Amino acid sequence: MTTVRRPLVYGHRGSREEAPENTLRSFRRAQEVGADGVELDVRVSRDGRLVVIHDATVDRTTNGTGKVHDLTRAQMAALDAGEGEGIPTLTEALDAFPGLVQVEIKAAAAVPALAELDRSDALPDRVVLTSFHRDVLAHAAELLPRVRRGLITHRCDDSVLAAVTDLELSWVCPELDPSLTAGMMAQFRDRGVKVDIWPAADRDHLGRCVALGADAVTTDHPGLIDAWLGGAERA
């Protein structure tokens, strides 16, 4: 009987199928169901606080309206993000979830705010800073050189391989796309970079991620991964 290797499991915005996304409840639920890590999103409030929210506005995920950068931390704390949960700060999220944390930088202004936070209260080694935007990661490399970085991408090509070297990446986070081939995975391995594939949306998607040799997967369903794999060995 072949033993399946279990990749690390990141809960996308926590355990968003079971709790409101990007809330402390969602991060705690991800821990309860066995996630090794969570992926969360950061933006900056009007008064310079790092807040955990995906969208540029609060409209979709809360009972309020307005752009995140136009609202103060206090104004956002008063909003309901679902089930009585508020919009947390990054520090609150890190305190709520003790495992691995991918911090996706959604606004360029978050980079200097992260650097300021790191100076006053060093970001833990379990944090990886990620982004779709290479200029954002370059800025992070400049201001927070000791904090690991990962590039999120829809497609894999030679420019992604170049970014691994140019940005000194620790992780690549590619979408499960036909461009992510066994050959591409081998080239990532040759460069010493780990690969977190998304989305592990169902058993079939997860199986394809595992077959490619994913070091980690990101999923909306962290509590289902072990059942989908059926008793795999942890990576």
What are the residue numbers of the active site?
12, 54
Classify strands 50-52 and 37-44 as parallel, antiparallel or unpaired.
Answer: antiparallel
Closest C-alpha among 150, 145, 152, 151 to residue 123: 145
**Dist. CA 84–CA 209, nearest whole Å:** 35
**Dist. CA 216–CA 212, nearest whole Å:** 11
Q: Token pair for residue 3? A: 């033993």
> Is the Cβ–Cβ distance between 102 and 10 less than 8 Å?
yes
In this structure, how many other beta carbons lie within 10 angstroms of the beta carbon of residue 135? 11
> Is the Cβ–Cβ distance between 91 and 82 less than 8 Å?
no
Give Cβ neighbours of residue 176 (< 8 Å, ≥ 6 apart): 197, 198, 199, 200, 205, 208, 209
Give Cβ neighbours of residue 171 (< 8 Å, ≥ 6 apart): 128, 130, 148, 149, 150, 151, 193, 194, 195, 196
